[in-house]
Structure 1
Amino acid sequence: MTDTISHHIPDAVMAAYVAGNLPKAFSLVVATHVSMCDDCRANLHAHEAAGGAVLDSMAEAPLSGDLRAQIMGRLDDAIDLDREEDETPVRDGIYPGPVMAALKGKKPKWKRLGGGVRQCIVDMDREGSARLLHIPAGKPVPEHTHGGLELTLVLQGGFSDATGHFDVGDVEVANDDLEHVPVADEGVDCICLAATDAPLRFSAFVPRILQPLFAI
């Protein structure tokens, strides 16, 4: 699939992901894209290797006597052999493993947003939200800009806006500088995984009124 992917995870976002500093919603998009893209998977491993090299070069810090005693004391603790393995589910149709994990292995529960567009919120906390968007073929998403960062990963179909065309596996990075009207490609409905850390800013009156109801 890498051969068809032309829009990747920015290096700064990848570095934050590896460092564990990326909000959960954005981490889901990165993990999903990495599962689809050989190039970004290689970039991820490069960042991890660089981080390991930094740790190896750091001077060792002595453990306090109390901490050392606590660690040594835990060595004899019983191990729970019946604990389930934390395995990421495999792809189910158009949904890669990380998305299936966020959905807990269940099918998306779609809610209508209007104009044929539907959404399914898969993760939400104080730092942001991640949702699946289902956009009918040939239909637009209402014009909007952003209160912060938005990462949108195409899982099926594709869409175009003022910045270009995005196909399966591509990631669009949008911030408050971008005002756009994404339009789904003809032929196949577009399904995306989108993460935001702030509400969208819609230009039209009706979407602005309905926005709080849909948590977008």
Structure 2
Amino acid sequence: MNIRHHVSDELLVGYASGTLEEGWRLAVATHLALCPNCRTRLTLMENTAGELLESMEPVPIEISSFDRLKERLRTAESHPSVSPKQPARVMQVVSPPTIPEPLRSYLGGDLAELKWKSLGRGAYHIPIKLADRSTTARLLRIPAGKPVPEHSHGGRELTLVLSGSFNDGELLFARGDIEEADPSVEHQPLATPEQDCICLAVTDAPLRFRSWFMRLLQPVLRI
């Protein structure tokens, strides 16, 4: 797998610091599961942040704060619903799943277990339930050789390819590649003819379709 399009520094820093909304975290974490390059970048960021923390002068805390911390730890240890972590079980994987974690847990399984909903014209989707409603996520399946409707964006859009590939202008996006679009981008990605393109799409605002027909369907499809 030769990943050419990586997550931006801005998103990776946000992921490392824990400030991203759930949809963006899901897209970045799934990309990281596929991309050794970005995992290395993330490690470097985390190590740099750790070195900066170590170089800072310590600040004394109130004794009462330490006492409260110890009380919380004692409560957690004695709570009957908390069980110790079990060691990870080593399992032999016959073939890697198409959909990596954490996305696979959100969907409830790999491709063979999924139930798709029609978007019309041979396209399908699966809305993904998020606790944080500031973003919307869905799995998309675009028919081989077919385009998505031409659109621009009301906000940010992340598209992560999981299977197949698509062209956007002169750029090719294949498995593991992530595309970031903003309100300045108007495009019409085209699935390559070899196979259907399956991707994760995350947005924080409705798309802006050029077609009046798609605008009419938009409230029903919630895209």
**Same topology, TM > 0.5:** yes
Q: How does 1:3-82 map to 2 (within 5 A)?
A: 4-77=2-75, 78=78, 80-81=82-83
Contact 1:153 1:171 in 2 (8 A): yes
The answer for the alignment partner of 2:124 in structure 1 is 118
Aligned-partner Cα distance in 1 for 2:184–2:87: 43
Q: State the shift of 1:165 in Å.
A: 1.1
1:109 corresponds to 2:115 = yes
Q: State the shift of 1:95 in Å.
A: 0.6
Aligned-partner Cα distance in 2 for 1:48–1:160: 33
Structure 1 residues 95-104 or 77-86, which shifts more? 77-86
Aligned-partner Cα distance in 2 for 1:64–1:86: 38
Change (3 A) 1:86 1:98: farther
SS of 1:72's equivalent?
helix
Q: How does 1:174-193 map to 2 (within 5 A)?
A: 174-193=181-200
The answer for the alignment partner of 2:141 in structure 1 is 134
Aligned-partner Cα distance in 2 for 1:202–1:168: 26
Contact 1:92 1:100 in 2 (8 A): no
SS of 1:159's equivalent?
strand
Aligned-partner Cα distance in 2 for 1:163–1:212: 31
- Count residues in correspondence: 212
Aligned-partner Cα distance in 2 for 1:194–1:8: 15
Q: State the shift of 1:82 in Å.
A: 5.7
1:148 corresponds to 2:155 = yes
Instruction: Report sequence identity in percent.
Output: 43
Could you tell me which runs of 5 or more consecutive residues in structure 2 were left unpaired when the two chains were aligned.
Answer: none
Q: State the shift of 1:66 in Å.
A: 2.1
Change (3 A) 1:85 1:100: farther
Aligned-partner Cα distance in 2 for 1:173–1:62: 43
Q: State the shift of 1:67 in Å.
A: 1.5
Aligned-partner Cα distance in 1 for 2:88–2:182: 34
Q: State the shift of 1:75 in Å.
A: 3.9
The answer for the alignment partner of 2:204 in structure 1 is 197
Contact 1:150 1:196 in 2 (8 A): yes
Contact 1:150 1:195 in 2 (8 A): yes
SS of 2:102's equivalent?
helix
Structure 1 residues 43-52 or 98-107, which shifts more? 98-107
Aligned-partner Cα distance in 2 for 1:181–1:198: 18
Q: State the shift of 1:174 in Å.
A: 0.7
Q: State the shift of 1:114 in Å.
A: 1.4
Superposed structure 1 runs of 4+ greater than 6 Å apart: 83-87
Q: Which amino acid in 1 is paired with 2:127?
A: I
Q: Which amino acid in 2 is paired with 1:116?
A: G
Structure 1 residues 127-136 or 156-165, which shifts more? 156-165
Contact 1:159 1:183 in 2 (8 A): yes
Q: State the shift of 1:73 in Å.
A: 2.5
Could you tell me which runs of 5 or more consecutive residues in structure 1 were left unpaired when the two chains were aligned.
Answer: none
Q: State the shift of 1:85 in Å.
A: 8.3
SS of 1:188's equivalent?
coil
Contact 1:150 1:197 in 2 (8 A): yes
TM-score, normalisation: structure 1: 0.90
